[in-house]
Amino acid sequence: MCGHLLAAGYAVRVFNRSRDRAGPLVEAGAEWCDSAAEVAAGSDVIFSIVGFPADVRSVILGPAGVLEGAASGSVVVDMTTSEPTLAVEIFTAAADHGVESLDAPVSGGDVGARNATLVVMVGGSGPAFDRVLPLFERLGQKIVLEGGPGAGQHTKMMNQIAIASGMIGVCEALLYAHSAGLDLERALDTISGGAAGSWSLTNYSPRILRGDLEPGFKIDHFLKDLGIALEEAAKMGLDLPGLALAKELYLAAREQGYGQKGTHALIAPLALRSGVDPGLGRGP
Amino acid sequence: MCGHLLAAGYAVRVFNRSRDRAGPLVEAGAEWCDSAAEVAAGSDVIFSIVGFPADVRSVILGPAGVLEGAASGSVVVDMTTSEPTLAVEIFTAAADHGVESLDAPVSGGDVGARNATLVVMVGGSGPAFDRVLPLFERLGQKIVLEGGPGAGQHTKMMNQIAIASGMIGVCEALLYAHSAGLDLERALDTISGGAAGSWSLTNYSPRILRGDLEPGFKIDHFLKDLGIALEEAAKMGLDLPGLALAKELYLAAREQGYGQKGTHALIAPLALRSGVDPGLGRGP
């Protein structure tokens, strides 16, 4: 993502806990900084994308964090999938420094990041969105201001909720078809174009059938998202049993050693609870 | 479906428990018969499409049923979504009469039936499939021999399993987005083209958002399918928690009076268990 900005000719300053990982960007012309605060001090727009909400809090609100360095009039953009309430907290803290903030989580995975085809779901003010839009357009193909602070994160949660139960359906359908002795490729081809069709069915089923459980998007990261979604839902008084089931199944997948595999490795806990080979008799 | 065969110039004989409902077909040139056996006696290929497995059993295997009348060399085609094991039983009973049989459930709903765009999932022998294929091609746009007797039904079950959990994901995502105060149309548009995308999300979400819960495909019928799928899964030793959850939620929907509404009325039991208006504040 940073590489796309460099390639477009923007002056870029970078910081990362592991300096080595920023090596290729520095070689490509980015200026190394020793802290997030130092990045922020010299920048009009400051992007962060880290792991967990605690990391977001630390890198933006913590010591030597973005808000320590950010000049009045700059814009802080957190692209981590994180808590909507934290996005609101950052918005307020940033405003106290005369700084704007946007929450802007993405979907599209590593492929989308590499090919600049991400979907960017943005929460914040219209003027801040307009200022950052030319930069977003270097990173993604669909950039939408969803509403005020937190609305980007909420839209990402909506996205993950739809994916979670959808993946249960895909994996259970494959498991059933396998146990029924169907020709899986043929049956998949039959149902993919109809009412059962989905992005997950089309894109992940073939990987499951060839025993390829590499990510895509890692279960450990998806579990973070499902945890946030369930907490937010609980705050709203929502009882979402499909989401709760998905989290339970993905926790089982992690316990079974699939945390670093892709979300479609949900086939494993489902197969194992029925005593079926997670490779559906064909995996490597 | 019968009308398409008539329109293609085939000689058609019809029977229905409620004669009135066959009126338009008789007017269009179909010959009325007083029983399924009588239909079968004069036909090379006999189609049935009824409600429940008990109805299939009655109309094909029962007194005055298809196999009482079917001539040796004819083909019985049951297009009801029904039990795979019953399809195998019919195949065996038909063979005892020198009759071939195919199970051939469809997807695509009333619209697919009307526009001859159904997907036809067929189980049975290759030669019987080849004989009936020109007729199937008048009814659908994708016709696939999935395997031996019961394979058509199993493929339909696979289809319904994928749809069931997928619909939970769609409805929970909408419910979350509504409670989060998002602009639902905008958020839906954002996520529909990405990894959360599905036929259900694209086709049913707009209906839910305008409070239109008319079928599509009725919950009462979907509950039949989910019951069959769960029973078949249990016979195979499979524990499918997403499917079980879907059945529980759809049973709640039926108890709440949504049995004659479409499958997307799953929004109702999900909303109600959280005390949210099933119309998401905008329904009629």
Q: Is the pLDDT of residue A282 over 90?
A: no
Q: Is the pLDDT of residue A47 over 80?
A: yes
Predicted confidence at residue A27, as pLDDT, reads 97
Average pLDDT, stretch A245-264? 98
Interface test with B, best of A83, A160, A165, A205 (most B CBs within 10 A): A165
Name the residue with higher pLDDT: A102 or A282. Answer: A102
Taking all residues of chain A, what is their mean pLDDT, rounded to a whole number?
Answer: 97
List B142, B156, B224, B247, catalytic entry: B156
Nearest to B185 by CA among A202, A269, A146, A267: A146
Nearest to B60 by CA among B84, B89, B31: B89
Domains within chain A, CATH numbers bracketed: 2-148 (3.40.50.720), 154-273 (1.10.1040.10)
For A203, the 3-state DSSP assignment is: helix
Predicted confidence at residue B50, as pLDDT, reads 96
Q: Is the pLDDT of residue A283 over 80?
A: no
Q: Tell me chain B's radius of gyration from C-alpha atoms.
A: 21
Q: Is B261 a catalytic residue?
A: no
Q: Mind listing the pLDDT tens digit for each residue in A136-192? A: 999 999 999 999 999 999 999 999 999 999 999 999 999 999 999 999 999 999 999
Q: Which helix or strand (DSSP H or E) is residue B100 part of?
A: strand B100-103
Cα B95 from Cα B78, distance rounded (Å): 15
Residue A148, sorted as left (phi over 0), alpha (psi -120 to 50) or beta, turns out to be beta
What does residue B107 show for φ and ψ, rounded to 5 degrees?
A: -130, 160
Helix axes A151-179, B241-255, angle to 10 degrees: 110
Q: Which helix or strand (DSSP H or E) is residue B120 part of?
A: strand B118-123
Closest chain B CA to residue A204: B195
Burial class (CB in 10 A: 0-12, 13-18, 19+), A36: buried
Q: Which residues of A are catalytic?
A: 156
Predicted confidence at residue A248, as pLDDT, reads 98
Burial class (CB in 10 A: 0-12, 13-18, 19+), B255: exposed
Cα B266 from Cα B284, distance rounded (Å): 17
Nearest to B242 by CA among B163, B171, B152, B175: B163
Burial class (CB in 10 A: 0-12, 13-18, 19+), A15: buried
Interface test with A, best of B142, B168, B202, B217 (most A CBs within 10 A): B168
Q: Smallest CA–CA separation between B44 and chain A, in Å? A: 27
Predicted confidence at residue B282, as pLDDT, reads 76
**Tens-level pLDDT at each residue, chain B (284 residues):** 999 999 999 999 999 999 999 999 999 999 999 999 999 998 999 999 999 999 999 999 999 999 999 999 999 999 999 999 999 999 999 999 999 999 999 999 888 999 999 999 999 999 999 999 999 999 999 999 999 999 999 999 999 999 999 999 999 999 999 999 999 999 999 999 999 999 999 999 999 999 999 998 999 999 999 999 999 999 999 999 999 999 999 999 999 999 999 999 999 999 999 999 999 987 55
Please judge whether A240 and B172 are an interchain contact, meaning their C-beta atoms are less than 8 angstroms apart. yes
Nearest to A160 by CA among A219, A209, A116, A206: A219
Predicted confidence at residue A284, as pLDDT, reads 54
CA B153 centroid distance within chain: 10
Please judge whether A119 and B190 are an interchain contact, meaning their C-beta atoms are less than 8 angstroms apart. yes
Q: What are the tokens at B139?
A: 């009814």
Place of tokens 């993604």: A140
